[in-house]
Amino acid sequence: MNDRMHDIVMTVNGEEVRERVDARTTLVDFLREALALTGSHVGCEHGVCGACTVRLNGAIVRGCLLLAVQCDGARIDTIEGVSDAGEIADLQQAFAERNALQCGFCTPGMLLTAQDLLKSGTLPSRDTIRAHISGNYCRCTGYHAIVDAIEAVAHDRNRRTG
């Protein structure tokens, strides 16, 4: 057997996946190429832009900085799974309503990062929102509308949970 190839099993968006991967394949390339989950984007490929953001066992990570083999046995959630579950429907709507996306390249990573901040139920300041998304680059919007959208959802959720 080619010793660069490894059998891995992981749970992706709630479904068990078994694949044979090259040891050098990054997590984001694996998700995009082997599983056709192309919502996670590849920008800088060295951990700077956040386009490749996914969840690993519930925590957001850079898919370009992890190898797929390192995620053997892990639970991975991508923008497709989180979106299909309805978990970020309010964020998606707020982004659309407030023009917080233009080309959309950064948007999946931005949404997962925003949800990571908001899922604790706290009411973050605009500075806290900016700090939390500071690892996610957007070349289009100038960020203001993104901060507006996240802030609006934070207030909405806070009102609903009282």
Judged by the rule CB under 6 A, the positions of this chain that interact with ligand FES are 42-45, 47-52, 62, 64, 101-107, 138-141
Q: Which is nearer to ligand FES, 14 or 104 (CB)?
A: 104
Both tokens of 63, joined, read 């898919």
Q: What is the rounded distance in angstroms from the CA atom of residue 95 to the CA atom of residue 142?
A: 13
Sign of CA dihedral 128, 133, 137, 141: negative
Q: In the bound complex, what is the minimum distance in angstroms from residue 148's beta carbon to ligand FES?
A: 14
Q: Which is nearer to ligand FES, 54 or 69 (CB)?
A: 54
Closest-CA residue to 64 (of 38, 82, 44): 44
Q: In the bound complex, what is the minimum distance in angstroms from residue 77's beta carbon to ligand FES?
A: 16
Q: Name residue, tokens 């892990």.
A: 74
Q: Which is nearer to ligand FES, 27 or 74 (CB)?
A: 27
Q: In the bound complex, what is the minimum distance in angstroms from residue 74's beta carbon to ligand FES?
A: 17
